[in-house]
Amino acid sequence: KYLMQEQELSFSFRKESYRVHLCSVEVFPQGFAAVCNAGFMKGINMIADIG
């Protein structure tokens, strides 16, 4: 719930404006994204390892 408090994000980066809509947020233990089978991910997806 905490990570989905703001589903619409607006920001600018390098003089370009962006709007992002979050559909869902999932958190996994570090390294899971590197070994998971992404076959279950349908549509447009983004995996980010921040840290």
Q: Is residue 51 part of a domain?
A: no
* Contacts with 47 (C-beta within 8 Å, 6 or more apart), sequence order: 33, 38
| pLDDT tens-digit readout, 6-22 | 889 899 999 999 999 98
Residue at 28 is within a domain: yes
Confidence of residue 36 (pLDDT cuts 50, 70, 90): low
For residue 21, list its beta bridge partners: 8
Per-chain mean pLDDT for the chain:
76
Which of 16-20, 22-26, 46-50 is least confident? 46-50
Within a domain: residue 36? yes
What is the domain extent for residue 21? 2-40
Burial 21-51, CB ≥16 within 10 A → b, else e: eeeeeeeeeeeeeeeeeeeeeeeeeeeeeee
Asked whether residue 28 carries a pLDDT value surpassing 60, the answer given is yes
Domain count, the chain: 1
